[in-house]
Amino acid sequence: MVPPIGPVDSAVVPRYAGPATFARLPRLDEVDRADIVVAGVPFDSGVSYRPGARFGPDHIRTSSRLLRPYHPALDVSPFAVAQVADGGDIAVNPYDIGAAIETVHAAALDLTTDGTRLVTLGGDHTISLPLLRAAAERHGPVALLHFDAHLDTWDTYFGADYTHGTPFRRAVEEGILDTEALSHVGIRGPLYGKKDLEDDRRFGFGIVTSADVYRQGSDEVVHRLRDRIGDRPLYVSIDIDVLDPAHAPGTGTLEAGGMTSRELLEILRGLAGLNLIGADVVEVAPAYDHAEITGVAAAHLAYDLVSLLALNAEETC
């Protein structure tokens, strides 16, 4: 088998030069096959407060230039054991949320043919619904691990069924999630009412709050999550606002009291060996991201997700 094509050599081409792809990887059209594709969805028409996440994919790519090819915490060189490529951006209609959802769904199915895994850079959280639809078509109803400050299981906003606050309610209603293995992590802040929690519980979600992470520690949280997920096909969705504003100011709906980037990375690394089949990192809004703090966090999260998928690919070789 032909060895994977990896990133541009930073000893030859300075990190601030060269291709503007995720982690300076080859484009999808430059490789014969891809085990893992990183693709962007520049869409934020579903937001309820600050816009700007449509510029998130390019910002994350820019922030990923300093990523290096060996992941010591997971003991894997993801770009050497799997062919990882940047699939570019999925061009979606910014004026029609329904049309955008259909475009993302079709593109995700196209990008995951022949067992290819997809890591998506958002964009707002609306895009998780079509990504989950595609994942369920490939694998059946999937377990969901949702990192976020907010539940995102509300019914409507301003009468709209499809927004960044409703994707997981719609996903439960559509039967594309395994309701025995649904978890929110990092939830915090005020709600509209106690019914929000009652509805969420009825849908099958378990909640690990940001305070739980602080009090129990990452290892205990990982133990709880692994026990809930088991060997089911797992989709991971990360809203960058799960992090405290000190660690991720560049997002649309800030909430105080969030997780640190270290806590989130440790929890992700604790998922090694689970049946991860896809993931997204969403709600990065670069206009509010002073000093590129949010972009760097998002780039490292995406890198960890790619590394987890590469570990699975290595085990099946």
* Residue numbers belonging to the annotated binding site: 125, 148, 150, 152, 239, 241
Task: Name the binding residues for Mn(2+).
Answer: 125, 148, 150, 152, 239, 241
Q: What letter represents residue 166's amino acid? A: T
How would you class 114 by CB atoms within 10 Å of its CB: exposed for 0-12, middle for 13-18, buried for 19 or more? exposed
Give the side-chain half-sphere CA count within 13 A for 32.
4
Neighbouring CB atoms inside 10 A of 244's CB total 21
316: enclosing H helix or E strand: helix 293-316
Torsion angles phi and psi, residue 221, rounded to 5:
-65, -45
Give the residues across from 85 on adjacent strands: 37
Measure the CA–CA gap between 107 and 110, rounded to whole angstroms: 5
- Which residues lie below 8 Å from residue 80, measured CB to CB, with a gap of 6+? 3, 4, 6, 69
State the greatest distance between any 2 C-alpha atoms of the chain, in Å, as a whole number. 57
Could you give the CA distance from residue 281 to residue 133 in angstroms, rounded to a whole number?
17
Element counts in the chain: helices (H) and strands (E):
10, 8
